[in-house]
């Protein structure tokens, strides 16, 4: 039986003194892909950022456990070093920091060791080519001047290189055309592993046409109100979120 690799226990989170996430619990076993679906404003992005330890989000109660370790009090960089990864809904531009330097620094930090330059260049080149990320992108400032689809491919490149234990993808399908969506979904599928968990956050079913989840959770007003198999996403698509507003989890 697969072990639980990521667990959220009775999490409550506030932003500027307003509670957004309410008594939310979630358990992901190694090898599983889970999807959280909810309309805009349901608390999905607040959940994602709080799981990564963003300082703007205050954890009022509950725990976040990664691979058996309580990381609730860990800083974002500590969580990253423990191999927790967050793909942002809107990746931020960082002028003056090249994509290539960012990738090299991030990879060295997470691995905890210096990687030979030749090996590193070969690895980045290989993964960038697989995601149709041109060579000249590596010398440009991180996410500056890139389209939404290009930013998401670059973020998927980061994930592919960092090889996280748990990857949280916050609306990865946002801003992607159908070809880019298929490409990103293919790379996420390639990361499925008996030793890794993936949490997809979205409000559209289309991403789940390419990445089949083991579990789907419906999130309304900061709480998971319904959980089920992959067919729940189709049910949600046809019935809408209002049908689940009064549901109890199960």
Query: Could you report the per-residue pLDDT of 178-206, keeping only the tens digit for each?
Result: 888 888 888 889 889 999 999 999 877 88
Q: How far apart are CA 164 and CA 210, in angstroms?
A: 21
Q: How far apart are CA 22 and CA 69, in angstroms?
A: 22
In a domain, 249, yes or no: no
161 sits in which H/E element: helix 148-162
Model pLDDT, residue 173: 81
CB 244 within 8 Å of CB 225: yes
Q: 216-243, pLDDT tens digit by residue?
A: 999 999 999 999 999 998 888 888 888 7
Side-chain half-sphere exposure of 13, counting CA atoms within 13 A: 30
Model pLDDT, residue 92: 87
Strand boundaries in 90-165, DSSP class E: 94-98, 141-142
Segment 140-144 mean pLDDT:
93
User: Which residues partner with 6 through β-bridges?
Assistant: 28, 66
Q: 124-140, pLDDT tens digit by residue?
A: 999 899 888 999 999 99
In a domain, 250, yes or no: no
Eight-state DSSP code of residue 222? T
Burial class (CB in 10 A: 0-12, 13-18, 19+), 118: exposed
In a domain, 140, yes or no: yes
Model pLDDT, residue 1: 62
Q: Which residue segment(s) compose the domain that 188 sits in?
A: 4-244
Q: Encoding tokens for residue 156? A: 């998927």
pLDDT band at 248 (very low <50, low <70, confident <90, very high): low
pLDDT at 107 exceeding the cut of 60? yes
Eight-state DSSP code of residue 69? E
Strand 94-98 versus strand 84-87 pairing type? unpaired
In a domain, 181, yes or no: yes
47 sits in which H/E element: helix 44-51
- How many domains are there within the chain? 1
In a domain, 186, yes or no: yes
pLDDT band at 90 (very low <50, low <70, confident <90, very high): confident
CATH number of the domain that 94 lies in? 3.40.50.300
Q: Give me the numbers of helices (H) and strands (E) for the chain, helices first please.
A: 7, 12
């Amino acid at each position: 039986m697969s072990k639980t690799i990521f667990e959220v226990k009775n999490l409550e989170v506030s932003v500027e003194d307003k509670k957004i996430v309410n008594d939310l619990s979630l358990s992901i076993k190694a090898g599983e892909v889970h999807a959280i679906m909810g309309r805009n404003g349901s608390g999905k992005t607040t959940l994602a950022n709080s799981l990564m330890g963003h300082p703007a989000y205050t954890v009022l109660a509950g725990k976040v456990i990664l691979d058996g370790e309580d990381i609730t009090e860990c800083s974002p960089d500590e969580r990253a070093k423990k191999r927790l990864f967050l793909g942002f809904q809107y990746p931020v531009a960082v002028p003056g920091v090249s994509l290539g330097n960012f990738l090299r620094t991030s990879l060295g930090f997470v691995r905890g060791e210096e990687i030979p330059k030749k090996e590193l260049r070969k690895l980045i080149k290989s993964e960038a080519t697989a995601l149709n990320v041109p060579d000249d992108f590596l010398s440009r400032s991180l996410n500056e001047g890139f389209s939404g689809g290009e930013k998401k491919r670059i973020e998927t490149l980061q994930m592919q290189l960092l090889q996280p234990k748990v990857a949280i993808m916050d609306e990865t399908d946002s801003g992607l055309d159908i070809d880019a969506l298929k490409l990103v979904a293919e790379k996420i599928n390639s990361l499925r592993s008996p030793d890794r968990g993936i949490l997809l956050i979205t409000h559209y079913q289309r991403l789940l046409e390419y990445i089949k989840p083991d579990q789907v959770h419906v999130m309304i007003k900061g709480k998971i109100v319904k959980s089920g198999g992959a067919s729940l996403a189709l049910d949600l698509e046809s019935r809408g979120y209002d049908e689940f507003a009064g549901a109890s989890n199960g």
